[in-house]
Chains A and B, each alone.
Chain A
């Protein structure tokens, strides 16, 4: 599904953002990507959705060879992924429903099926009742749910989440995390970058930890370790 082989990524101004990173994420897996800020979590995600070019090594994402992707094929790759951010990235001048529909429209989906598909994902994230609300009328947790609905509407095989709970209070965090677990339970792979170790300890999922651009721990490969020792 997602395979990194000896991936290096250089900063534009010199230095390495990723050093020789290799891992393989299988279909339907839930993976935590952990590490301090600046450890390279976001860079890993950006390489997956081809927002940044790979410096060397191989990145394969659901059949795409990302390092050698032509610019015109990038949108095709992204239609197979759902992406969620810490800051939600919703359009302020559109309702929840329109924000989700937007993701369908830009991929040229059939218009007749749009409303039904939008309502289905809004129901899935528990926001069907607030379909007509604008982002400013929603709480942070609700906004993130809209963003997740938008990521799901194209039925991706992988959901990438970059600190999805970073801006949320504890209660909203729990709700969003549970939603991501439910999504994973229905078969979608989830890669969640986070530095919230409480969250990581709550669930028995695979953990990949980065430190200064290097992969220092992968629970699928390395011996289990004392959780208290991890940063």
Chain B
């Protein structure tokens, strides 16, 4: 094991330029993935803000007894999708309208009868804020006898849904594409290292080294390069984030877990890239 580590580290001293090249290419590939990740993270944050406003309003028939409403309120709150259900009486609806719609204050002031219906405002739990669940809950609300009408921003919900799906798909496709590129690049640089040392590998085989023994230092070397690349990519992303934050918009950065995932991903890329190229070399000779 000692020898594996020594050989893996020696590779950086033997071929510093090649090593720097691998680390840099992985870093840039992951940096691009990281930038998309940052966009995704911030989009997610923005969408969460919008999504919080998604609510379903059930308008009630006039004259519904308060007891039935309180009971229904409890029922609705017990729905698994529902975060909260709040009863808004005719009077508070009018008061709210007066407060919010300043332009119509005079009109609202002169009303003899309150034209606004009472309602129950329903908010869903975050993970249920998509078109399917909103429709589902709306249908169930319509089932209550005293519910006159159910309203929700159907278009909004559906648009939000699509936006989220597109963001996820683009992130996934671009991420996968760059991951493949990074794997190919590190595979190539490890392959160069392998070819550079093919004489040594031939001698190792001659004196009875197993393939696993020969492979191990290269795998470790690839993993270290991938990890360093990942670290640099997180650093670059942080730099980009700082610039964006200072000059453009208030943005969010990766959580520690996400940053760690990028580094871990780099490590895996390094491991797979080197495993592929060393394996190919060992099978060939």
Residues of A in contact with B (beta carbons under 8 Å apart) = 49, 71-72, 74-79, 83, 89, 91, 93, 102-103, 105-108, 111, 150, 154
Q: Which of B195-219 contact A (CB under 8 A)?
A: 199-200, 202-211, 213-214
Residues of A within 8 Å of B199, CB to CB, are 89, 91
Knowing A105-B3, A111-B2 are in contact, say whether A75-B209 is a contact too (CB < 8 A): yes
Name A108's contact: one of B202, B211, B213 (CB within 8 Å): B213
CA distance A78 to B204 in the complex (A): 10
Residues of B within 8 Å of A154, CB to CB, are 207-208
Nearest A residue to B210 via CB reads A75
Knowing A106-B213, A111-B2 are in contact, say whether A89-B203 is a contact too (CB < 8 A): yes
**Known pairs A71-B211, A93-B14 / 7 extra A-B pairs, C-beta < 8 Å:** A75-B208, A75-B209, A79-B207, A89-B199, A91-B203, A103-B207, A106-B214
CA distance A89 to B206 in the complex (A): 10
Name B208's contact: one of A76, A91, A111 (CB within 8 Å): A76
Residues of A within 8 Å of B203, CB to CB, are 89, 91, 102
6 closest Cβ pairs, A-B complex: A106-B209, A79-B208, A78-B208, A103-B207, A75-B208, A75-B210
Name A78's contact: one of B205, B211, B213 (CB within 8 Å): B205
Residues of B within 8 Å of A103, CB to CB, are 207-208
Name A106's contact: one of B2, B14, B202, B208 (CB within 8 Å): B208
Nearest Cβ on chain B to A196's Cβ, whole angstroms: 23
CA distance A79 to B209 in the complex (A): 8
Q: Is the CB of B207 within 8 A of A78?
A: yes
Residues of B within 8 Å of A106, CB to CB, are 3, 204, 207-209, 213-214
Nearest B residue to A106 via CB reads B209
Residues of B in contact with A (beta carbons under 8 Å apart) = 2-3, 14, 199-200, 202-211, 213-214
27 contacts between A and B (CB under 8 A): A49-B206, A71-B211, A72-B211, A75-B209, A75-B211, A77-B208, A78-B205, A79-B208, A83-B206, A89-B199, A89-B202, A89-B206, A91-B199, A91-B200, A93-B14, A102-B203, A102-B204, A102-B207, A105-B3, A106-B207, A107-B207, A107-B209, A108-B213, A111-B2, A150-B207, A154-B207, A154-B208
Residues of A within 8 Å of B3, CB to CB, are 105-106
CA distance A157 to B203 in the complex (A): 19
CA distance A79 to B3 in the complex (A): 18
Nearest B residue to A83 via CB reads B206
Nearest Cβ on chain A to B180's Cβ, whole angstroms: 30
Nearest Cβ on chain B to A180's Cβ, whole angstroms: 18
CA distance A79 to B206 in the complex (A): 9
CA distance A72 to B283 in the complex (A): 12
Nearest Cβ on chain A to B6's Cβ, whole angstroms: 10
Nearest Cβ on chain A to B14's Cβ, whole angstroms: 8
Residues of B within 8 Å of A75, CB to CB, are 205, 208-211
Q: Is the CB of A78 within 8 A of B206?
A: yes
Nearest Cβ on chain B to A110's Cβ, whole angstroms: 12
CA distance A105 to B204 in the complex (A): 10
CA distance A111 to B14 in the complex (A): 24
Residues of A within 8 Å of B207, CB to CB, are 78-79, 83, 102-103, 106-107, 150, 154
Residues of B within 8 Å of A93, CB to CB, are 14
CA distance A76 to B212 in the complex (A): 13
Residues of A within 8 Å of B200, CB to CB, are 91
Nearest B residue to A85 via CB reads B206
CA distance A190 to B211 in the complex (A): 27
Nearest B residue to A111 via CB reads B2
CA distance A49 to B202 in the complex (A): 13
Residues of A within 8 Å of B205, CB to CB, are 74-75, 78
CA distance A231 to B8 in the complex (A): 50
Nearest A residue to B209 via CB reads A106
CA distance A93 to B202 in the complex (A): 15
Nearest Cβ on chain A to B268's Cβ, whole angstroms: 26
CA distance A75 to B202 in the complex (A): 12
Residues of B within 8 Å of A79, CB to CB, are 207-208
Residues of A within 8 Å of B214, CB to CB, are 106
Residues of A within 8 Å of B211, CB to CB, are 71-72, 75
CA distance A79 to B213 in the complex (A): 14
CA distance A78 to B213 in the complex (A): 15
Nearest Cβ on chain A to B233's Cβ, whole angstroms: 33
CA distance A107 to B2 in the complex (A): 13
Residues of B within 8 Å of A102, CB to CB, are 203-204, 207
Residues of B within 8 Å of A71, CB to CB, are 211
Name A72's contact: one of B2, B14, B204, B210 (CB within 8 Å): B210
